[in-house]
Amino acid sequence: MAKRIAVVQGNNEEREDLCAELREHLFQVASFPSLADFEQGERNFAVVIFDLNSLPVTNQLLQEYSKTMPGLYMIAVSSRTFHPELREAMTTCLTACLTKPVDLNELVYLLKGILMENSRSNCSNV
């Protein structure tokens, strides 16, 4: 069965904690320590969560992911509230940007909404 959510974060402990919390909510989760690992892995995800504090995420990268992985919902998490270098991607590529530490209830609510919408879209294409 395909993984539904990818968590890409350079901090091993934070990444594994977030993955464990998401699995407790019955999400299927894959863990990646770097963008390169994510890019080399499978591409069958509904959602990817990027940690902007530990990854070299750029406008160009997010735009490329949008083109090569259509339908992928991208969520960013960051301890910073403002990312002027990602202004364009914030409005065109990212579904949401959540403040760290991540409010798990907020993230779970967001993910459930995305996955519910994604499953409706898949049903309408049958």
Give the pLDDT of the chain (126 residues) as one tens digit per residue. 346 999 999 999 999 999 999 999 999 999 999 999 999 988 789 999 999 999 999 999 999 999 999 899 999 999 987 787 888 888 889 999 999 999 999 999 999 999 987 666 554 444
- State in Å, rounded, how far the first CA of the chain is from the last one: 19
Cite the DSSP H helix spans in the chain.
12-24, 35-40, 59-68, 87-92, 104-124
Q: Which amino acid is at 107?
A: L
Q: Which domain holds residue 45?
A: 5-124
According to the model, what pLDDT value does residue 1 have?
A: 36
What six digits make up the tokens of 22? 């998401």
According to the model, what pLDDT value does residue 121 have?
A: 58
- Of 38, 28, 35, residue with least CA distance to 5: 28
Distance from C-alpha of 9 to C-alpha of 2, rounded to nearest angstrom: 20
State whether the Cα torsion 23-93-72-15 is positive or negative: negative
According to the model, what pLDDT value does residue 126 have?
A: 41
According to the model, what pLDDT value does residue 125 have?
A: 45
Sheet with 29-32: list strands edge to edge: 29-32, 5-8, 47-51, 73-78, 94-99
Query: What CATH number has the domain bearing residue 66?
Result: 3.40.50.2300
The total domain count for the chain is 1
